[in-house]
Structure 1
């Protein structure tokens, strides 16, 4: 079996492991053939694309957090090549969603012996993909503050959350597709392919990665205490203060430009987001 490992060297906190060495040592006396690609910029993205095309790996493994998983997934859409995940980021929401263990050795068992699950992907504005969760508003602001602070890991999230607590602003939004046309005031609009954030917050309890639909979760009201619960992994949002719409495509427009993030990557401010489902677009490895 030919295995391509894609490592993001900046994922995780200061105490992150040397995954390249761990991987080489793991396969030192095994029969599989391995290749390692370091994902550290646009040039390496092109190198990854070429490696997949010419090396024809049997499995491609993302070693990092949700951003790394998204980057690898973008090269595997509509192929039969399954993607494995070794969780190594500050937030590993997609790995948690797929029940992939955080321990290296156990995650490697899933890479080698796991079963294949075919999942949906959300296409956003014709150029981005979302395999986990994207959102406008509050959490996107938290992601921005986290990236600007430059401190990785849980400490970085904790410090960034303090700043975010005092910056929250409501959004005036319109949400449209063939079935609905809504106007709402909300703190946060979530495009949810999955169920929960990497922090453990269950934002979309009824989500299903393989049902050909995604959910638009509207957080209409939010107190400082509820935001604290979100960040500290206590309880999900109060369902009485949320609204959920199932869709296979939707357009979201905001009166003022709002912070926007996809799979843990801050994409700046926008006033318009168009999302549509790509059903059964990605093969992933999950525990057998």
Structure 2
């Protein structure tokens, strides 16, 4: 009897060419070189390419796996296109902030990641939660207040990496004022004064700052993290030493749905993208809405 050949994987790589600054070679060339003598069927979608939606490209190519090549913004775009689809997403970290890759323990080495995607290293597909925030999707962390203003100042300054965040933090804390915030759902109704309110699907920002130590991407819940006060030394300590936020000044609530209202218009960001100023945010958990390829945990054997 003839032996059945293994299934030929169809892979679609979604590339953000401006992620992470300059490289020795562009991502498409690196990926093509890796697959030159391999059986996989590889195609590419460039985010700055001709006008075609990512969803249309996925429908046309019919991939078995879609790989986001970029930072958290690229991962978010791919996640939106794969929402509730039975197509796993891989992440090839290539951004200035790769918080979701770090959250999922995805290695920085591209050859290791490509081996995971091709099942040549132990990998598994994990179903993770997302948060619907107003009319958008959050894969990682969204917030109202101080950090959203920091994201805005960081984007305007144009200096990438932690240095850019550090320089922007002084301006941000000088500008930032505590917000009067009302938080409610069918189980709670409370008012707080805070520097920032975080809607946390994950545990830490791309800088490594741990905002939500007990976060779990698969528990069907998200956390509302209320930071009542924050100083420059605390902010810099979190950016550079990865210390958690001061629990004495922090309140954490778990929820499946929540509405946050501010007395005055407040700065707002989703997954590192500044969204402007808002008066109200409604968030709802989307349980197990996205499949992602991750390494098999060491203790899983």
TM-score normalised per structure 1: 0.95
The 8 Å contact of residues 133 and 283 in structure 2, kept in 1 or not, is answered as yes
**Aligned counterparts, 1:26-175, within 5 A:** 26-40=34-48, 43-44=51-52, 46=53, 48-113=54-119, 114-125=123-134, 127-175=135-183
- Aligned Cα root-mean-square deviation (Å): 1.5
1:197 aligns with 2:205: yes
Report what 2:6 is aligned to: none
- Structure 1 regions of 5+ residues with no counterpart? none
1:234 aligns with 2:242: yes
Report what 2:277 is aligned to: 269
How far the C-alpha of 1:51 sits from its partner, in A, is 1.2
- Structure 2 regions of 5+ residues with no counterpart? 1-8, 297-301
The 8 Å contact of residues 165 and 227 in structure 1, kept in 2 or not, is answered as no
Q: Deviations for 1:105-138, whole angstroms, at most 9, x for unmatched residues?
A: 122222222210001110011x200011110111
**Aligned counterparts, 1:174-193, within 5 A:** 174-193=182-201
Q: Secondary structure at the match of 1:74?
A: helix
Name the CA distance, whole Å, in 2 between partners of 1:16 and 1:275. Answer: 41
Q: How many residues align?
A: 285
Q: Secondary structure at the match of 2:82?
A: coil
The 8 Å contact of residues 124 and 273 in structure 1, kept in 2 or not, is answered as yes
Report what 1:212 is aligned to: 220
Report what 2:286 is aligned to: 278
Q: Secondary structure at the match of 1:75?
A: helix
The 8 Å contact of residues 161 and 231 in structure 1, kept in 2 or not, is answered as no
1:247 aligns with 2:255: yes
How far the C-alpha of 1:42 sits from its partner, in A, is 9.2
How far the C-alpha of 1:202 sits from its partner, in A, is 1.2
Alpha carbons of 1:269 and 1:41: their partners in 2 closer, same or farther (altered >3 Å)? farther
How far the C-alpha of 1:17 sits from its partner, in A, is 4.9
Q: Deviations for 1:73-108, whole angstroms, at most 9, x for unmatched residues?
A: 001011110000011111110000000011111222
Name the CA distance, whole Å, in 2 between partners of 1:230 and 1:54. Answer: 44
Q: Deviations for 1:211-241, whole angstroms, at most 9, x for unmatched residues?
A: 1110000001112211111222331111111
TM-score normalised per structure 2: 0.91
